[in-house]
Structure 1
Amino acid sequence: MTVKLSSAALGEIAHTAAVPAYDPIMLTPGILHFGVGNFHRAHQAVYLDDLFNKGHGLDWAIVGAGVMPSDALMRERLAAQDFLTTVVEQDMNKTAARVTAPMIDIIAPDDTDKIIAALADPRIRIVSMTITEGGYFIDASGAFNPGHPAIFQDGQNPDRPKTVFGLIVAGLKRRRAAGIPPFTIMSCDNIPGNGEVTENAVVGLAALSDPAFAQWIADNVAFPNSMVDRITPATGQREIDFLRDTFGIEDNWPVFCEEFKQWVMEDDFPAGRPPLEEVGVQFVPDVAPYEHMKIRILNGGHAAIAYPAALLDIHFVHEAMEHPLIRAFLEKLEKEEIIPIVPPVPDTDLNQYYDLIERRFSNPKIGDTIPRLAQDGSNRQPKFILPSTADRLREGKDIVGLSLVSALWCRYFEGTSDSGRQIVFNDTSADKLHAAAKEARDNPSAFLVFEEIFGEVAGSELFRQRFSHALKTLWAEGTARTLELYLQDALVK
């Protein structure tokens, strides 16, 4: 017998899953969140659920808001179950389900007036976001791009914004006009200095239509940096069926994730914040060391294994880690080229951190997929891989493994795996990358023309040499043999 998820069914669901210890009716809004996806519901929402279960911070409930067409489907499915979410945490040795209830509404992406009104609501004291790395309109150097068509459009039409940042600017302007203190803006995306990056986007967009107001934002609005971490795969029918068959819960969009989670933040919240330190959030003076560690070692590790796995027709991440060549490739790359240039992190052994990452990647219960890791490489490579390459080049160090990662990405974008299987791309720049990758088979430098991706790295003669040799070897020898050569220190021309 199964039970459809709803507030009325929580009593029955409590027989198989943990349910909120608080009454969602008692919650009032304090946070407006852009980007209600799986990661947000497995991370920030879970921390708030933990806090509410202690009876604390009940005036910090979440109101979701969307700007993408896909957000409308999320709203429809969650509204049908009273905005509840079943979170299934899967460790190597256990699987547990819990229903979370910190979200009280989601505003549809086409309801601009309602979103701006919510942003102007004095009860909203934090605006947070998980809009993916590609949603910040930045180039390979990390600089805000005011010439992006979507930003230009919002700059010309500040009263009818379409982007997250345009909406935030409109909400802040309305608050200032009404004498309401500004909210704090908190990015929860995997970008180094995500607070500064968000500030550059908000202030930069405001300056296109009202430079004086842009300066007011810079002087009065807080943008704390944060580091977030929890492996959260996409939800498919497999996950929906598993939840129904194992726990008897019918959830329109459950979230599956690992047991591990981490959240490190700078404590800069002039308008107040929930006492999240009570549920494990670390508040630190400087997030940068934690960001570097996570983005370079974990996110960089994901990016490193995605493309050799895809070229070898491997679907799941744990299966990639079971492949001896891929596992050894990742370890050698991390310990010889990535970890040595990651700055020290307080009370953290970076090699032990990598060992933890290796175990997390190997968790077979998560069901994380290679296609998820491989998507959006044009935004992820400049943030997760190429900064390590650039740092090593500045220090005069070799980049054999990191160049191989870039070459694997190029080889992937040719469009077929080593067996000839067609690869399905998921990248906003897929067409131009595919065309360049095909040309690069005979002329490797054709793939390095994208300054917005490769930046200064493309100008390095050593990188171009290492990239070219790795790509030619991939085509001549195949992925497995190329990995073997790298592991034997024989991939140097």
Structure 2
Amino acid sequence: MPVPVAAPRYDRAQLTPGIVHIGLGNFHRAHQAVYLDDLFGLGEGHDWALIGAGVRAPDAAMREVLLAQDGLSSVIELAPGAHSARVIGAMIDFVAVQPGNAALIATMARPEIRIVSLTVTEGGYYIDPNTGTFSPDHPDIQADAARPDAPDTAFGAIIAALKMRRAAGVAPFTVMCCDNVPHNGHVTRDAVVGLARLFDAELADWIHASVAFPNSMVDRITPATGDRERAMAADLGLDDAAPVTCETFRQWVIEDKFPAGRPALEKVGVTFTPHVDKFETMKIRILNGGHAIIAYPGGLADIAFVHEAMADPQIRAFLNRVLTAEVLPIVPPVPGQDLNDYKALIIERFSNPEVADTVRRLCLDGSNRQPKFIIPSIRDRIATGGSFDGLVLLSALWCRYCFGTTESGAEIAPNDPNWERLVAVAQAAKDRPAAWLEMEDIYAEVGRNPAVIESFTTALKAIWARGSRAVIADYLGQ
């Protein structure tokens, strides 16, 4: 029997824009857009509709798809043994994607735009991993500083729009990061202010003093769209060139700092709290760290899907032990949340076979994700005097994965923006394991710690000598 598809429960012709969102990928359409669609369905917030935007070539392709669908997007929620589908109507326009971002800047400068939000990926904030702060030396940033009136980055466009608003006497919009980055509001502020400071110190000071950058924590497992997802949409009668599938769980925790106003998202399940950092640490260390813990042993074992990795008794036990013994003890208490219950929820979510999230997706972009999701936990274990052998073993498994072949000998296709470099270092590390830890931009002082070097060297040599399963078995038997 066909699954009924829910349609927007409001008149889209009555919507007016209040938010420009940069980066219309799957996560945004399964998360922020769904919350807004829920709010509009209550008959509220109709002046907070979305205008889509982007600054990269893939954004132009997404614009073409979504405008052909009148901005509508289908979201298929995947519970074990059951699917539900809905059409989201929260977006009413999509700005032209063009070099210099003139159309985007003009749109963000419009007085009715009170929030500019972003999902530009974890690696899109120009962070120096050695300092954890904005790096002004990246060629993209230097290029925008040289031509601030025709910038190519999202941050340059935000600065140009804020400058136009100030000149016109229009209050600044709030900049709301929706990416999975620790302290994402502060990171976004540092990128915007740091870029502005390169060419207009007075403007940078004004932005720092006048513009709100609330921190937030976002969570929903949202796989990439492929043939399976498009076939699923077609089976439901959905004519959507870019359908989104996701788990049923979703969470959004936001710092309530919106001087220009905000939609009443608390009415549809969003948590507004001054304790975003605690929720964020819990999620990043347990969920995102947990993804990494299962990703690389799964990838080396040629396991395709996350739920299949979770069905592997050893990988599941490895996840449980590392989280329980090494991660949970360093996660600060979270208001109203039992960390063991949260860990159990994460394990249940990872095990959902309907989501069909891929191990390859979890292995993607380790050079950006490891410094955010794993290495801070190692750093905290060092500081507290706790053991870190499981976390360091995970780093060794990542190194072995980046050698470029699975343990069956199958070639691993490039899976990181820095893949060539990682492969070269991983090949050198086969003979001299410390070479891996000497990537200062990834490991910094953690890679110089003698105990970490010893643990990593032992683990990587053992993986090459006896295979990852034997080494994980040793860890589990401790």
TM-score normalised per structure 1: 0.95
Query: Structure 2 residue aligned with 1:184, among 174, 180, 199?
Result: 174
Q: 1:253 aligns with which of 216, 233, 242?
A: 242
Letter in 2 for 1:293: M
Q: Give 1:108 deviation, angstroms.
A: 3.1
Q: Which amino acid aligns with 2:200?
A: D
CA distance in structure 2 between the partners assigned to 1:88 and 1:108 by the alignment: 27
Is structure 2 residue 476 aligned with structure 1 residue 487?
A: yes
Q: How far apart are the structure 1 equivalents of 2:233 and 2:417?
A: 32
Pairing of 1:280-429 with structure 2 (within 5 A): 280-429=269-418
Deviations 1:111-169 (A, max 9, x none): 61110000100111001001111000002232100011101111111111011100100
Q: Deviations over 1:277-318 (max 9, x none)?
A: 000000001200000000000000001111110000001000
**1:395-439 Cα deviation digits (max 9, x unpaired):** 122210000111111000000000000001221111111100001
Task: Give me the whole-angstrom Cα distance separating, in 1, the residues matched to 2:442 and 2:22.
Answer: 26
Q: 2:114 aligns with which of 95, 108, 125?
A: 125
What residue identity is the alignment partner of 1:144?
F
Tell me the residue number matched to 1:159.
149
Distance 1:206 1:450 in 2: 30
Aligned to 1:216: 206
Determine if contact 2:300/2:406 at 8 Å carries over to the other structure: yes
Q: Which aligned pairs between 1:186-201 and structure 2 lie closer than 5 A?
A: 186-201=176-191
Structure 2 equivalent of residue 440 of structure 1: 429
| Contact 2:4 2:84 survives alignment (8 Å) | no
Distance 1:487 1:202 in 2: 45
CA contact (8 A) 2:31 2:220 kept: yes
CA drift at 1:16: 2.5
User: Per-residue displacement from partner, 1:62-84 (whole Å, max 9, x unpaired)?
Assistant: 11111111111111111111110
Which among 84, 88, 112 is matched to residue 96 of structure 1? 84
Per-residue deviation, 1:235: 0.4
Cα RMSD after superposing both structures:
1.2
Alignment pair present for 1:107 and 2:95: yes
Letter in 2 for 1:238: R
What is the rounded CA distance, in whole Å, between the counterparts of 1:17 and 1:189 in structure 2?
A: 28
1:35 maps to which of 8, 17, 23: 23
List runs of 5+ in structure 1 lacking aligned partners. Answer: 1-12
Matched with 2:46 is 58
Matched, 1:79 2:67: yes
Kept in 1: contact 2:311–2:351 (CA 8 A): yes
Judge which range, 363-372 or 420-429, deviates more: 420-429
Q: How does 1:223-242 map to 2 (within 5 A)?
A: 223-242=213-232
CA contact (8 A) 2:81 2:354 kept: no
Q: Which residue is 1:4 aligned to?
A: none
SS at match of 1:250: coil
CA–CA distance in 2 between the matches of 1:70 and 1:304? 30
Aligned to 1:7: none
**Are the counterparts in 2 of residues 89 and 257 from structure 1 also a CA contact under 8 Å?**
yes
Quick one: which amino acid aligns to residue 205 of structure 2? Q
- 1:169 corresponds in structure 2 to 159
Instruction: After the TM superposition, list the runs of 4 or more consecutive aligned residues in structure 1 that deviate by more than 6 angstroms.
Output: none
- Does the 8 Å contact 1:139/1:453 carry over to 2? no
Question: Residue 8 of structure 2 corresponds to which residue in structure 1?
Answer: 20
Determine whether 1:262 maps to 2:282. no
- Structure 1 residues 372-381 or 445-454, which shifts more? 445-454
Q: Give, in whole Å, the separation in 2 of the partners of 1:294 and 1:257.
A: 17
Deviations 1:4-63 (A, max 9, x none): xxxxxxxxx9x8300001121111110011110000000000000000001100000111
Q: 2:296–2:401: 8 Å Cα contact kept in structure 1?
A: yes
What is the CA deviation profile of residues 355-413 of structure 1, one whole-angstrom value per residue up to 9, with x for unaligned ones?
00000000000010011111111100000000000011111222100001111110000
Counterpart in the other structure of 1:468: 457
Q: Contact 2:27 / 2:220 at 8 angstroms: preserved in 1?
A: yes
Distance (whole Å) between structure 1 residues aligned to residue 268 and residue 81 of structure 2:
23
2:180–2:217 Cα contact (<8 Å) kept: yes
Deviation of 1:197 after TM superposition, in Å, equals 0.6
Question: What letter corresponds to residue 413 of structure 1 in structure 2?
Answer: C
Residue by residue over 1:176-220, the C-alpha shift from the partner in whole angstroms, topping out at 9 and shown as x without a partner, is 011100000011111111101111110000000000110000110
CA offset at residue 447 of structure 1?
1.2
Amino acid at match of 2:47: D
Distance 1:154 1:448 in 2: 33
Q: Distance in 2 between matches of 1:368 and 1:39?
A: 13
CA distance in 2, matches of 1:449, 1:168: 36
- CA–CA distance in 2 between the matches of 1:383 and 1:338? 14
Quote the residue 2:33 is aligned against: 45
- Once the two structures are TM-superposed, the CA of residue 243 in structure 1 deviates from its matched residue by 1.6
* Structure-2 separation of matches of 1:210 and 1:362: 50
The number of equivalent residue pairs is: 476
Matched to 1:336, the amino acid is A
CA–CA distance in 2 between the matches of 1:105 and 1:434?
A: 42
Identity percentage over the alignment?
Answer: 57
Deviations 1:452-483 (A, max 9, x none): 11111111111111111111111111121111
2:455 is the alignment partner of 1:455: no
